[in-house]
Amino acid sequence: MTPSVPGPADRDAAGRDTVLTLTDVRIHNDAADEELVHGVSLRLARGGVVGIVGESGSGKSLTCKAVLGVLPKHIEVAGGSIELLGRDVAGLSRPEWTALRGSSISAVFQDPASYLNPSIRVGKQVQEVLRVKQGLNRPAAKQ
């Protein structure tokens, strides 16, 4: 599960800034004393896309939840680093994560019906996040 291994550069081959870097991330279940994710590394450039593919139970969702700071109880990042916009975010407190989510990083997981309201257009829901998290007015959020 390693789409691209981070290097020392802050830009990709196309000259785009790196916004997210995972280096040898390991996720551990303290309750079962078991390592669930073993050394994931990737780099995402501004405007880029990374696809994470693997078997059921391989740690795709846990890896994404670690990046968002929403791991379940007893599950923690036990090694490696997660850098968002050049800042190590693996050990942030809940209030620090809350400030980042929706303003610097967001995700919609496999079951969008659990996260998005099907009776409201997706664009309106995205605009709402921008209005709440970034304080934008309606026209600016729409833009």
Domains of the chain: 1-92 (3.40.50.300), 108-143 (no CATH)
pLDDT in tens, 43-66: 999 888 888 888 998 999 999 999
Rounded to whole angstroms, how far apart are CA atoms 63 and 58? Answer: 10
pTM over 0.75: no
pLDDT grade for 36, boundaries at 50, 70 and 90: very high
- Which 3 state secondary structure label does DSSP give 50? coil
pLDDT of 34 strictly over 90 = yes
- Give Cα 114 to chain centroid, integer Å: 18
> What does the pLDDT read at residue 6?
42
Tens digit of each residue's pLDDT (9 = 90 or more) over 7-19:
444 666 666 789 9
Non-local (6+) Cβ contacts of 62 within 8 A are: 27, 36, 37, 71, 75
pLDDT in tens, 62-90: 999 999 888 999 999 999 999 998 888 88
